[in-house]
Structure 1
Amino acid sequence: MIYPYFKIDKKIQEAAQEAARKIAPVLERIEEITDYNQQKMMAAFNAAGVSESHFAASTGYGYGDRGRDALDQVYATAFGAEDALVRHNFVSGTHALTVALFGVLRPGDTMLSVTGIPYDTLGGVIGITGDGNGSLKEFGVRYEQVELKADGTPDYEEIEKRVNPGIRMVYIQRSRGYSLRPSLFVEDIERIAKIAKKKAPGCIVMVDNCYGEFVQTVEPVGRGADLMAGSLIKNPGGGVAPTGGYIAGRKDLVESCSYRLTTPGTGREIGATLGNNRELFMGAFHAPHVTGEALKTASFTAALFSLFGYEVTPKYDEPRADIIQAVLLRREEALIAFCKGVQKGAPVDSFVTPEPWDMPGYDCKVIMAAGAFTLGASIELSADAPLREPYAAWMQGGLNYHSGRLGAMLAAQSMLEQGILGK
């Protein structure tokens, strides 16, 4: 590897070469998964009969938008779901999750999170943080949770004790979020779903699938989950979708979610696409490949920083359930330097210096490095973290492995220049 355009110390270049050698077998495994998922996506496009006419814009109410309906079919087929609701006007993954929660839960229902407390931004949605205005709690939905075990894995015995016929929803967060617990494989979700259906046959098993799409060859709704949701500016948008989100799963549940998104009675039949269809179709097509590139970047980052003595999770050769790579940097200044280096490796706003700030929805300052073509896109190379112990950087994305690898090296270079690499 030659780096004539960037200042990268020889020590880091040599470590990068060693990291590349170590992950060679890992990249082969990732390629196998990517190849399978790309074939699956191609088959989904073929089954939906996608044509250029599906890219046409609709306005007003959006009645009869063939492209919108075909896009739903593509995602449903690729995810192995009965149905899907894919819209550019889901403003975030949290929004898609919120629509799904309000779409299927009713006053008096109980939601049981079996993976501990959900991601920070859902606290206000549920009503466990914030002023409760507009939350599930305000609408009379009860919330309970089962804590993870000390090693961060699901407590299956406790889940079996807590699930009963009075539980309407068993909620699972697949990704680790801002924690160091392991992300969940589809097999883990399938095990939870079997317990839930045994103890409460009528319950809804819902999965926050953010960061997990196309990491394995099957999705949660293909292995027992009833409903899942996520963001199109993460894995399933392929780095092309400019915004949006999806809900996928059982047909009747997706229909209920569509009534929450628009209005009861009209549901998915309305909603102008305003010319966004082409980018959403293209993003879906690229999603399996781009997800594979992000996984390669994560594996390289883990190998590189472990060579400098940092604890990483997952390790470079561990199987992965999502695209997130955590690097435990131990010190606040190391975390900030890491993020500044990642920013320098961005194609957009590389000259910007990220600084910690009070971000809405979080309980402490957060630093984010993300020089992306789509603002906040986590499938593009980014690194972010709350400024609190253990000062870990959560890195994800990389539209292609080559630029992602360079970003990881520049993160190390930034730390080296501050005299804190490996300390």
Structure 2
Amino acid sequence: MALRERAVAAALRVHPGPVATLSTSRPPRGRRYFDHVLHGDPFDPASALAAVVEFEKRTGLTPAAVVPFVDPSLGAGLAVAEYYGLPFLSADAVRHSSVNKDLMKSRLQEHGIPTPRHVPFHDAEGLRAAIAQVGLPCVIKPSGFGGSMGVTLITDESRIEDRCAYVMRTFAENYADFSITNHSLQAEEYCDLPYEVSVEVMNHGQERRVLAVTDKSLGPAPYFAEMGHRVPSVHAGDQEIRKLALRACAAVGIDRGIAHVEIRLDGAGRMEVIEIAARTGGDGILDLVERVHGVAPYELHIRSYLDDLDTIPAPQPPAGTAALAVLKARAGRIREVAPFPATDAPVVAYDIFAAPGDRSGDPECYEQREGYVVLHWPAAEPHTLAAGLHCEIAADIARTVFQVEE
């Protein structure tokens, strides 16, 4: 998957045997990265286990570890791990992480962890009943999706019907791709705290350590598409944020690998956990952590699932500030994609996904992006840089690269 490729490099560093993945495609994108590609659905427990068992019959090889990197693969990973007696998260931890946001929030509330109130619903009538409890404005979303897909804000009653239709349509068009069996939708009270961070927590047994705190930049309302990430956060020194993330991991029961905890805050002591995912953060966040803090998060994550980790190393003091920002073309049909321009910005990597003829829309979730750019200021502390500088640089580059017809 885009922006998670360094997981393969980490696996090759820490494991002497072959590295395999599961895919329903023949041939799958990225096949060249792996020693073996097993034909099975990585999001369906029965299909994934059948593919691994068939591979064992054919080759005699059995897995040394099964390692999850995205939410929908947690159930399949658990099925394979239980069959082969391998270390993995407990079924309870999987069930109460962000694969089911209803159960996740209920578990957090049971442990006294601040999180927005929520009410499940299934249709417009149920949404109106939910809004009667959580009030307006509120956020609605599919309970089993990630990547901001289908997440939208409702600010007044006149938008209830069309926002509900948007979420239901998004779910109907995408749930089969991820083998999602949880069809619940969720309304939650809007958290109006102005800042959002993610906390990357490494867990192994009873030991937990915060590796980094990341500033997050979101796209325009009514959506919550993530447009940029910056490490370290200007809030990285706030010990209460770190304590809250550790408490959330303990409440859900995450005792292996990296967890990605999203928190909103006001910088004056108020904070709420929005989500806790029992897997590595996406969008290249772990690459930024490795670049700045000198610790290899993917390597630690894989070692934990191999049960090959004595203790969690402390991250180094930050070597400057690193950021990733989405390259976003304005809405329309992309007529031309120009070469990446010369720039004075400290660009260290980039990728462009779009091609002439593609259509660009408003940023709703991780799918509406045309590329990304990675930046690194080796000597800059985060508070010395403008909060949205990385996103402004990406916007300037996108205007040069993408020629768009209305």
TM-score norm. by structure 1 comes to: 0.32
User: 1 or 2 for the larger relative contact order (CA 8 Å, sep ≥6)?
Assistant: 1
TM-score by length of 2: 0.33
Q: In proportion to residue count, which structure has more helix?
A: 1
Structure having the larger proportion of residues in strand: 2
